[in-house]
Amino acid sequence: MKRKIIILLFILFANIIHVYSQQIIPAENGFLVTAEVIDGDTVPSITLPNIYVFKPLVFKNNRERKAYYKLVRDVKKTLPIAMEVNRAIIETYEYLQTIPDKKDRDKHLKRVEKGLKEQYTPRMKKMTFAQGKLLIKLINRETSSSSYELVKAFIGPFKAGLYQTFAALFGASLKKEYHPEDEDQLTERVVLLVESGQL
């Protein structure tokens, strides 16, 4: 009988130790990370963010320095909006694929257009002209389509032409494209640094 109790206590004690050993207890000066088992060994698995290293910028004068920091400010303000627009386009497109009737798709697009206007008009009013032009380019960067093409695809060619004409009155163009290797090289540098959290 005594032997059975000792064996039972041993099994119970072993189970308790096993349960506590499976719990993750955070270290005081460390980080919790996921792990992978590779060839029988448990190896920490950490995904590191991209770190971009560029040649230091050399400004010819104070005016160039101010222009650069203005670009940084404008990218930080407009890039999140361009990313939101990209997500909204993907979600809208995916949802439209589930609607079989053209009439219902048109109704949904009108609701989306109204919702986007309500959501973004107050934010757009707070933007400068330069930020608006930058936003058009960043939308092209995020979606691989010009703003004109997006408006034309979702709302129709008439409204796309109307918006393009309105933008042209102010010296902008919805057809403007983003060229990271050429004219938008500095902007691309700033965007990458902002996305990686380095700026």
User: What pLDDT, in 10s, does the model give residues 41-86?
Assistant: 888 887 777 888 888 888 889 998 999 999 999 999 888 888 888 8
pLDDT, tens digit, 9 for 90 and up, residues 107-139: 877 787 788 778 777 887 788 888 888 888 888
How far apart CA 60 and CA 46 sit, in angstroms, is 41
In the predicted structure, residue 31 carries a pLDDT above the cut 70: no
> Kind and range of the H or E element at 191?
helix 185-195
How wide is the angle at C-alpha 55 spanned by C-alphas 83 and 192, nearest 5°? Answer: 10
| Residue 87: how many other CB atoms lie within 10 Å | 10
Torsion sign across C-alpha atoms 80, 85, 86, 88 = positive
Q: How many helices (H) and strands (E) does the chain have?
A: 7, 2
> Kind and range of the H or E element at 61?
none
89, 150 in Cβ contact below 8 A?
Answer: yes
The arithmetic mean of pLDDT across residues 159-175, rounded, is: 72
Binning the chain into helix, strand and coil, the percentages to the nearest 5 are 65, 5, 30
Q: What whole-number percentage of the chain has pLDDT above 70?
A: 82
How far apart CA 163 and CA 161 sit, in angstroms, is 6
